[in-house]
Amino acid sequence: MTVSPGAAIERDEPEHPDSSRARGNAGSLLALLAFVALLVAPLGSLSPEAHRLAAIMGAVVILWVSEALPLPVTAIIGAVACVVLRVAPARDVFAPFADPLMFLFIGSFILARAIMLHGLDRRVAYAVLALRIVGASPTRILFAFGAVTATISAWISNTATTAMMYAIAMAILAFMGDAAKREGRRLDPRYATALMLMTSFAASVGGLATPIGTPPNVIGLGFIRQLTGTELPFFKWMLLGVPTVVIMLVVVFFVLGRAGGSVHGGVVESAGMLEREHERQGSWSTGEKSTVIAFSVTAFLWILPGVLAVIYGDASPQYLALTARIPEGVAALIGACLLFVLPGNQQGKVITWREAAKIDWGIVLLYGGGFALGVLSFRTGLAETMGRGILGYLPASGETGLLIASTIMAVILSEITSNTASANMIVPVVISIAVAAGVDPVVPALGATFGASMGFMLPVSTPCNAIVYGSGYIPLRTMMKYGVMIDIVGVVVTVTVLKLLLPLVR
């Protein structure tokens, strides 16, 4: 489907400052200076291993924030430096790269690749948007568009979801704009802005619904399990994530939804276009059916342990036996392997290895390197020292105070660097602060994990924001205004949901 943006809609052209190279050079220089300064600084309270690790982590954080190097490369450099500078033996440093959650990443990424390869995500999107009750109103289109985006984003990459839904949104705006032009007027640009922002915000919010919805979720779960010994199964995460997503999606809709009332034409044309695109999907192919089977098996295996825990308890033989035999990473790999067995149109199977290998291996390496640095910070005592140092500057040290502070810190950090890097940096620090304060570290760690996915304010905050900002329909000040509002709502909703529901889930 090829569409033009529609000349009937006024757009603000995005700025493209050529500053990435200067930023990268400055980041590399600052990282080197920070490494040397920390390495020679008199940090007598730290062990030699913790002292060297502090220098490495200082450089890594600067490289992550400045994005002077690709984020996975920085994570690998940090891990290698830990071996070279004798922070820990290579066997210990690289052990996190074989963590079971690493295979949860790999298996779920391959499943998501199959879903996109066979167009199941587009089929679901058009099936909902083509409903007559939806296409009959611009406001309903906006809400349904956000709901579909969030639902898809709960299972596949936020960025991939945004890219797909962005193309559909542009088509809708083109049809509305052309219809308005034929009537001698233009489509209100506020609606175009609202639909674009809904595409990005809903994708970021939807990723919170499941542990695999976005990499920060898996990273946070990994640190919580490794550093606190607490397991949070797939189903229990959803008991926290789904209410958070629903509340935030409703808030995003009401914040952006006023623009829907300004659209008085083009609805019939856009509704007809959505129906035609839905019909164009045709009947289900063998590959689509097989993908649904593989995904359903995996989702069932992910959710079943949580259901057993709710019915029989975490200490029941049924729950312990299932989680020991089929942990979440193994369930993901079972589904991924089914894709190579079930029939499809990729050389007779659902997917080929050539296609499966196109998953984002960079995220996998970033998780391994960041996880290694976080675990080493605890083993060397660096995390405890950092936690006690930071604790003295916090206005409140109780569980609720730490939850609020950790969520806010994660949100702020996610605005200036990658959500994945934010989770790697903030979650282990938050856990160390909680341990130093003598409170349950799981609560603020989850707050930081949720907060790491809430960068809504700037085009550079997330790839989702960058994609929709590139449309030219979103003035920067508008994105910042709405982004700040959703950031604040995100903090309030996260704190409220965790305080009310986490005691019931655990």
Amino acid letter, residue 82: C
- Domain boundary (334, 356, 378) is at 356
| Same domain, yes or no: 167 and 78 | no
**pTM metric for this prediction:** 0.80
| Same domain, yes or no: 86 and 115 | no
Lowest mean pLDDT among 48-57, 175-184, 211-220, 432-441: 175-184
Question: How far is it, in rounded angstroms, from Cα 501 to Cα 69?
Answer: 40
Q: What's the domain range around 109?
A: 101-356
| Same domain, yes or no: 186 and 106 | yes
Average pLDDT of the chain? 84
- Domain boundary (337, 356, 375) is at 356
Number of independent structural domains in the chain: 2
Over residues 392-406, the mean pLDDT reads 79
| Same domain, yes or no: 197 and 345 | yes
Question: How far is it, in rounded angstroms, from Cα 153 to Cα 467?
Answer: 15
- The Cα-based distances of 282 to 127, 128, 221, 278, 465 in angstroms read 11, 15, 40, 8, 32
Q: What pLDDT is recorded for position 99?
A: 84
Each residue of 197-211: b (16+ CB within 10 Å) or e?
Answer: bbbbbbbbbbbbbbb
Contact 343, 334 (CB under 8 A): no
Residue 185 domain flag: yes
Alpha helix segments (H runs only) across 234-316: 234-256, 267-280, 286-312
| Same domain, yes or no: 136 and 81 | no
Over residues 372-393, the mean pLDDT reads 80
| Same domain, yes or no: 67 and 188 | no
Q: What pLDDT is recorded for position 423?
A: 86
Structure confidence by residue, pLDDT tens digits, 100-155: 888 888 988 898 889 888 888 888 887 887 777 775 677 888 888 899 999 999 98
Residue 500 domain flag: no
Q: What pLDDT is recorded for position 392?
A: 65
Structure confidence by residue, pLDDT tens digits, 157-167: 888 888 888 88
Over residues 69-98, the mean pLDDT reads 92
| Same domain, yes or no: 60 and 195 | no
Lowest mean pLDDT among 125-129, 178-182, 213-217, 407-411: 178-182
Over residues 396-401, the mean pLDDT reads 78
Question: How far is it, in rounded angstroms, from Cα 486 to Cα 20?
Answer: 27
**Where does the pLDDT of residue 260 fall: very low under 50, low under 70, confident under 90, or very high at 90 and above?**
low
Q: What pLDDT is recorded for position 396?
A: 62
Sign of CA dihedral 424, 429, 430, 435: positive
Model confidence at 9: pLDDT above 60: no
| Same domain, yes or no: 197 and 52 | no
- Domain boundary (307, 324, 356) is at 356
Q: What pLDDT is recorded for position 354?
A: 93
- Residue 262, SS3 per DSSP: helix
| Same domain, yes or no: 68 and 190 | no
| Same domain, yes or no: 120 and 183 | yes
Residue 486 domain flag: no
Residue 392 domain flag: no
Residue 482 domain flag: no
Token digits of residue 155: 């299972």
Name which of 132, 336, 310 is nearest 238 in CA terms.
310
Contact 423, 101 (CB under 8 A): no
Structure confidence by residue, pLDDT tens digits, 204-254: 999 999 998 888 898 899 899 888 888 888 888 999 999 999 999 999 998
Name which of 213, 236, 150, 154 is nearest 498 in CA terms.
236
Residue 499 domain flag: no
Q: What pLDDT is recorded for position 1?
A: 39
Token digits of residue 34: 């920070």
Residue 255 domain flag: yes
Structure confidence by residue, pLDDT tens digits, 15-31: 444 566 777 788 899 99
**Where does the pLDDT of residue 35 fall: very low under 50, low under 70, confident under 90, or very high at 90 and above?**
very high
Q: What pLDDT is recorded for position 2?
A: 38
**Where does the pLDDT of residue 11 fall: very low under 50, low under 70, confident under 90, or very high at 90 and above?**
very low
| Same domain, yes or no: 166 and 263 | yes
Angle at 464 between CA 461 and CA 466, to 5 degrees: 65
Q: What pLDDT is recorded for position 136?
A: 62
Residue 300 domain flag: yes
User: Greater confidence, 172 or 203?
Assistant: 203
Contact 107, 336 (CB under 8 A): yes
Structure confidence by residue, pLDDT tens digits, 332-347: 999 999 999 999 888 8
Structure confidence by residue, pLDDT tens digits, 265-311: 545 555 666 677 778 888 889 999 999 999 899 989 888 887 887 78
Model confidence at 197: pLDDT above 70: yes
Name which of 447, 411, 489, 487 is nearest 247 in CA terms.
489
| Same domain, yes or no: 277 and 301 | yes
What 3 state SS string does 300-328 have? HHHHHHHHHHHHHCCCCHHHHHHHHHCCH
